[in-house]
Amino acid sequence: MKRLVSVVSVVLLVVVGLVGFSQQEPPAGRIVIEFWNAFRGALGDTLQTLVNEFNSSQDKYWVSYVYKGSYADTMNAAIAAFQAGEAPHIVQVFEVGTATMMAAEGAIYPVDQLFKDTGVPLNADDFIPAVKGYYSFPDGRMAAMPFNSSTAVLWYNKEMFRAAGLDPDNPPRTWAEVRAAAAKIKEAGVAEIPLSCAWFTWTQFEQFGAIHNIPFATRANGFEGLDAVLTLDHPLYVRHIQNLVEMSQEGLFVYGGRDSAPDALFPAGQAAMLIASSALLGRVKREAQFEWGITYLPYYDDFVPAPFNSIIGGAALWVLRRPNASLEEYKGVAEFFRFLSTPEKAGWWHIETGYVPVTYGGYEYAKAQGYYDANPGADIAILQLARTPTTENTRGLRLGYLPAIRVVIYEEIEKALQGEQTAEQALKNVVARGNELLREFEELYK
Amino acid sequence: MKAAPVFRNRLLPYLLILPQLALTGVFFFWPAAMALYQSMLKADPFGLRSRFVGLANFIRLFHDPYYLGSVRLSFVFAVLISVTAMAIALLLAVAANKHVRGAKVFRTIFVWPYAVAPAVSAILWAFLFQPEIGVVGRALKGVGVTWNPYLNSLQAQFLVILIAAWKQLSYNFIFFLAGLQSIPQSLVEAAAVDGASPRHTFWRIVFPLLSPTTFFLTIMNVNYSFFETFGVIDALTQGGPGKATETLVYRAYVDGRVNLNIGLSAAQSVVLLAIVVLITAFQFKYVERRVHYA
């Protein structure tokens, strides 16, 4: 037994060692650019492919791909490295970290500045406004490089729709229609979960506010200043949460947990409808054993006659200031970014991953490849993101401690869904507790 | 011949304990001192601006009803997890200590869960208890239980306690078994000869002789419940629903790593450290008196 244990541990050590050192070494003479990110698995392979292509497309720079764990881990690691004077050149930061990054003047190298300083050309107008706006300063200068962006969509199970007597080619558009469809699905008993919802705070508040053109917070959702306050007690949010609480009591809506926990319910064939990220595409394609469809997010048609553009989620690439880094290194960063935003690469990334193309060029490329004809619904996300010009309510969010605010929303909504408080109370609490967080963040930068 | 010092060199003893001291210094005192320092700062995540705020972070914490709720919850969890994990482990150890067929197999099986990382075991259990696709979750629904730990606070708490206790079971089992095996058989046999029932023998002879093990395990289990339940909570409930499973450690993690509020998080680490020091000191002062070292 003892011997077996030691043999096994030696084998494990060797394997771990091999994996640890399998990172490709940069060829001599190349300028190394460190790129820290949060992708592994299928997404990691796809990103690594892009990095490898860049590395072999020229012989001056070498982008070193470093996986750092989850989004939160990656951001923490980059911050710790910055404090130690060892910041990576590029770090991938999730969208909720935007306010923190943007406020860190002196730590970040704004992308707009980067391209100006290095003289590398970039067509900033080619970026989809809803994507670019999220990562731009109030005056329109780009702060970070948009990269993997998704938006929320409604996934539905066509076979369950058929079995419940619903038209699979005519999915519900409004919340009234969603509720009616859910009732029919429940009545027919074709699914245990008529409707569920992943990333609840992102889809039912951030996205919901944007498509109805109502604010999430004052000061243009925080874009115009750190003194923003939450406006989540707006009557439409209250009405919507009330609606979901009722649907939950009637068994039409099932809360499946926080963040991505409910994702599994759709491909597993448990939920007939799921509001989730468009980037779930890869997983649905791989796992779903049934015919499925994607459609636009539902809205209240008595509130807005036509819904506005939705906003993005995902992450962007931020450039960090690194002591003693030469302009030449940053030129390599700019070249790498330019490479990523070419129509072929942006389009290829979109097709491979289900993230939206961040540029019009990428969209046109995918279209020219016949991707949308072969995959009906694959363009829903981008069409929804770009369907209207952005307003101050649909550019995105720029709020300090947004991850903490999301947690507050989860907590209060979970209490409302358990029947411990009304929707109105829940949202009042969200506003009160969220504002405390916002004031605390503001105080840091006074 | 002199009986006293074997080591003439005065420096040698210090040299010998130096590695241990260095480890304690680097991995305990230094981080603890840093935490204490940071707990009195208000700083932005990048540390570009920080200012000394004295005890403001602590004052804020103790005025936060949610934080006080976390304190209460952590203690309730510590008691429930420790009692559950130790009681069942003792029962299993007593059973496995008997001379029955396959005792060795059982011993190996009971030790197994210890090799599983907390996060991994949480994910496995979460799968089992997943209300829609989990085997146990579906079975519970099948017999009419409205099972949804994502929305039912009590169910979420139950699940966390169950998994955390299960995870600690093996550790307790090993120590209890070792403790049982070190009890001289002659004492047990003497009791039997005197006509004591097995129950009597256990409570009057075996259990008291086991008290050093029980005492040690109590400290380990309380510390385990405070700190190492993190993996379970993170993988399973992330502190929810509501704040139903947000223990002190989880809250410190959320404030520090997710929200990047380093000062507030450091203050919580300091509080946590103080609590654990106090509990352990209390146990040594009052509980250890009743421990019988054979």
Residue A268 forms contact with B (CB below 8 Å): yes
Give bridge partners of residue A108 from the DSSP assignment.
A105, A320
pLDDT at position A16: 47
- Using CA atoms in the order A132, A135, A136, A137, what is the torsion angle rounded to 10 degrees? 170
* Residue from A290, A289, A292, A291 nearest A276 by CA: A292
**Mean pLDDT to the nearest integer, A177-190:** 96
| Contact between A415 and B133 using a beta-carbon 8 Å cutoff | no
CA-nearest residue to B264 within chain A is A440
Residue A346 in tokens: 């942006």
Region label for B26, one of left (φ > 0), alpha (ψ between -120 and 50) or beta (otherwise): alpha
pLDDT digits (tens, 9 = 90+) for A322-371: 988 999 999 999 999 999 999 999 999 999 888 999 999 999 999 999 99
Rounded to two decimals, the ipTM of the complex is: 0.76
Between the alpha carbon of residue A192 and those of residues A104, A265, B131, B189, the distances in Å are 47, 10, 10, 60
Residue A427 has pLDDT above 60, yes or no: yes
By Cβ distance, the residue of B44, B133, B150 closest to A270 is B133
Query: pTM of the entire structure?
Result: 0.84
Q: Residue A337: which residues within 8 A CB-CB, separation 6 or more?
A: A111, A114, A115, A120, A122, A145, A317
pLDDT band, residue A303 (cuts 50/70/90): very high
- Contact at CB, B258 and A72, closer than 8 angstroms: yes
Does B133 contact A264 at a Cβ distance shorter than 8 Å?
A: yes
Given the structure tokens 């558009």, which residue do they identify?
Answer: A173
Which of 221-240 (B) contact A at CB < 8 A? 238-240
Q: Name chain A contacts of B238, Cβ cutoff 8 Å.
A: 258-259
The distance of A58 to chain B (nearest Cα, Å) reads 34
Are residues B132 and A268, on separate chains, in Cβ contact within 8 Å? yes
- A15 has pLDDT over 50: no
* pLDDT of B287 over the 80 cut: no
Q: Mark yes or no for CB contact B47/A104 under 8 Å.
A: no
Q: Is B112 on the interface with A (CB under 8 A)?
A: no
The stretches of A189-325 forming alpha helices (DSSP H) are 200-201, 208-211, 218-221, 235-249, 281-287
Kind and range of the H or E element at A149?
Answer: strand A145-150
Which tens digit of pLDDT belongs to each residue from B220-236? 999 899 988 898 898 88
Nearest CA in chain B to A248: B151
At residue A91, the pLDDT reads 97
Collect all residues of chain A within an 8 Å Cβ-Cβ radius of residue B133. 264-265, 268, 270
Distance between A414 CA and the closest CA of chain B, angstroms = 6
Residues of B in contact with A256 (CB under 8 A): 132, 150
Query: Cα–chain-centroid distance for residue B111?
Result: 17
Whole-number average pLDDT of chain A: 91
CA pair distance A21, B217, nearest whole angstrom: 40
What does the pLDDT read at residue B294? 56
pLDDT at A347: 95
A120 SS3 class: coil
Q: A76 and B43 in contact by Cβ < 8 A?
A: no
List b or e across B192-201, with b for residues whose CB sees 16 or more CB atoms inside 10 angstroms.
eeeebeeeeb
Q: Answer yes or no: do B48 and A192 touch at CB < 8 A.
A: no
| Amino acid in position B259 | N
> Which residue of A248, A289, A444 is the best one to mutate when testing the B interface, meaning the one whose CB has the most B CBs within 10 A?
A444
Which residue from B47, B241, B243 is facing A83, i.e. has the nearest CB? Answer: B47
Give residue-wise pLDDT tens across range A149-166.
Answer: 999 999 999 999 999 999
Contacts of B157 in chain A (CB under 8 A): none
Lowest mean pLDDT across A11-20, A55-64, A129-138, A230-239: A11-20
Distance from CA of A313 to the nearest CA of B (A): 17
Q: What is the pLDDT of residues B22-63, one digit of tens each?
A: 999 999 999 999 999 999 998 888 888 888 999 999 999 999
Mean local confidence (pLDDT), B74-94: 94
Q: What pLDDT digit, counting tens, does each position of B199-210 carry?
A: 888 898 899 999
Overall size of chain B counted in residues: 294
- In this complex, do B45 and A265 lie within 8 Å of one another by their Cβ atoms? no
The candidate with the shortest Cα–Cα distance to A414, out of A226, A201, A234, A237, is A201
The answer to whether residue B241 neighbours chain A at the CB level (below 8 Å) is yes
Per the CB < 8 A criterion, the answer to whether A38 and A73 are in contact is: yes
Do residues A299 and A174 touch, judged by C-beta distance below 8 A?
yes
- Among the partner-chain residues A76, A265, A445, the one whose CB lies closest to the CB of B44 is A445
Residue A300's Cβ-side half-sphere holds a number of Cα atoms within 13 Å equal to 17
Please judge whether B240 and A411 are an interchain contact, meaning their C-beta atoms are less than 8 angstroms apart: yes
Amino acid A138: pLDDT: 85
Evaluate whether A358 touches A131 at the Cβ level (below 8 Å).
yes
Cβ contact, residue pair B254, A407, below 8 Å: yes
Cross-chain residue pair A256–B150, CB shorter than 8 Å? yes
The DSSP secondary-structure symbol of A280 reads G
pLDDT at B20: 94
Which A residues in the span 99-118 are in contact with B, Cβ-Cβ below 8 Å?
100, 103-107
For residue A262, the surrounding DSSP H or E stretch is none
pLDDT at site A110: 96
**Cβ-Cβ contacts under 8 Å, A73 against chain B:** 257
Q: How many CB atoms lie within 10 A of CB A123?
A: 11
CA A289, distance to chain mean position in Å, is: 26
* CA pair distance A87, A91, nearest whole angstrom: 9
Residues of A in contact with B148 (CB under 8 A): 254-255
Interchain contact A323–B (C-beta under 8 A): no
Residues 152-191, chain B, touching A (beta carbon < 8 A)? 152-153
Nearest CB to B240; choose among A82, A258, A403: A258
Taking CB atoms and an 8 Å limit, are A403 and B132 in contact across chains? Answer: no
Q: Which segment of A177-181, B88-92, B112-116 scores lowest on mean pLDDT?
A: B112-116
Percent of chain A at pLDDT exceeding 90: 79
Closest to A80 in 3D by CA, of A107, A109, A113, A45: A107
- Interface residue A266 vs chain B (CB under 8 A): no
Closest chain B residue by Cα to residue A73: B257
Beta-strand relationship, A31-37 and A90-94: parallel
